[in-house]
Structure 1
Amino acid sequence: MVKAVIVDDELHARESLNHMLRTYCPTVHVVGEAERIEEAYEVILKSKPDLVFLDMQLTDGLGFDLLRRFDELHFKVIIISAYQEFAIKAFKFSAVDYLLKPIDPDDLARAVDNALSKVYDDSQQQSLNALIENTKNPEKKDKLIVLRNSEETYIVNTSEIVRCESDNNSTNFILADKSRIRVTKTLKEFEELLEECGFVRCHQSHLVNRHHIEKIIRFPSLSLQMDNGDSIPVSFRKRKQL
C-alpha cells in the first residue's frame, strides 16, 4: 500500500482527489490532509508518506515554501496547479510530475504510476529546484531545463545549449563546452519547448540556438556556422523562415 498526503487549501479539492484515488488508484491510501504549510509539514513528519500531492498555491504561501522546509525529500511529489499554459511549460522544463485542475482520472493514474516508478535519489530535488528557479521570473527567456537519461540527470541553462540533433527517437544536446547529452525524447518535443528561448528548427534533424549562430554560409549550399565550429545544414523549406 502506498501512503499519500494531500496538501490543498480547498476542502472540495481534497475530497475530490481522495475520491478519485480510491476509484482509480486503489493502491494509494491517503493517510493525511492539510490546507496550510505548517499543518502540512507536521502531517508529513508524522505520517511519513510515500507520495505527496501538493497544490502550488496555498492560503499561506506556495507549495515550494513547504518543500524548502525539508533538508531532504524522502517522498515523491506530484504538483497540482490550476494555471494551464504557464504551468505546463514550467513543469516540462523542470521534468516534474504534475496535474492540472480539474484533474483528469487518466492523468492522475499516469502521474501516480510515473512518480512511483522512480527511485529515491536527488534527481527529484534537482527537478524541483529547477522549477522553483524558473518560476521566480517566468518572463525570463533563459530557463533551466532538466535533461534526464538512464544514467544521469543534468540541469542545464538553455543559453548553454548550442544545438540539438535528432538521433532516431532520441535527441543529442550539444553544449557550449563541447559536451553532449543524449535524451530519449524526440527533437519535435524539444522544438515546441525551446522555441520561446530562441531556438529555431533549421532542418529535419537539427534545432539550433540562434544566439549561438556565428554566420550564415550560402555557398555551396545554405548552412549555419555555429560559434563552437559546427556546421549545420539548412533545409530548402526552412531557408525563408531562417
Structure 2
Amino acid sequence: MQQIHPTAIVEDGAVLGNNVKIGPYCMVGSKVTLGDDVELVSHVAVAGRTIIGARTKIFPFASIGHQPQDLKYNGEDTLLEIGEDNQIREHVTMNPGTVGGGGVTKIGDRCLFMASTHVGHDCQVGNNVILANNATLAGHVEVEDYVIFGGLSAVRQWCRIGAHSIVGGLTGVEFDVIPYGSVIGDRARLAGLNLIGLKRRNFSREEIHALRNAYKEVFNSEEGTLRERAAIAKDKYANFEGVQTMTSFLLREGERRFCTPRKGSAD
C-alpha cells in the first residue's frame, strides 16, 4: 500500500513500487521509478529518468536526477540509477549522466550520503560507500566499494578512488587513490594504508602484513618506475588478494596519475 501525502505531486508516468511513502511537498517526475519501500521524507524533488532501488530513504530538500551541471548537456535522455538500502540525507544533489560520459550515473547499495553531499554526472559509485557532510564528487569519478570520504572533501573529475580507501576531511583529490589507501591534505597525498578500515572488515593479519610490505616496496623505493615496482610486487605477493587488488589498480591500462606519499614518508 502506497502512502502519498496530499501536498505531494506525482506526475503521470511515474512508477511506484509497493509500500512507497511520499511525504509532504515532494515532487516526483514522470520518468521516475521508485522501488518497493522507498521513502521520500518531505520536500524531496526527484526528476528525469531516475531509478531508485528498494528501501532507499531520502531526506528533506534533496535534489535527485535534475539536469547535470555540464554546459555541454543539451537535454538528452540520460539516466541516474540508485541502488537499494541507501540513505540520502538533507540537501544532497545527484545528477544523471551525459552522452559524452556514457549516459549513466550509478550508485550502488547500502551507501550513506550525509547532508549537502554531491554526486556529479557520470559518476560510478560502488557499494557501502560513505560521504560525510559536504563531500563532493565531480563528473566522471569512479568510486569502488567501502570508500569513506571525510567532510568537505572534494574529488576532481575523472579520478578513481580504490576500494576500502579513506579520504580525509578537507582533502582535495586530484589524482587516483589506491585501494586501501589513506589520503590527506589540501592536495591529497598518501599517508599510509587504511589500517583501521582493514581491521574492521576482518582482513587477516597475514593479508595486512603483506599489504604493508607491498606498499613500502611500491611507494618507498626509488628503483624503477611506479608501474615497474607495482608489477614486481604483484608477482612477489601472488597469493595475497589485497596486494593483487592494489597492484592491478596501479597497472590498469591508460595514462594515470596517482596520489603518492611525501618523499620518505611511506608507511
> TM-score when scaled to structure 1?
0.35
Where relative contact order (Cα < 8 A, 6+ residues apart) is larger, the structure is: 1
> TM-score when scaled to structure 2?
0.32
Between structures 1 and 2, the one with greater strand share:
1
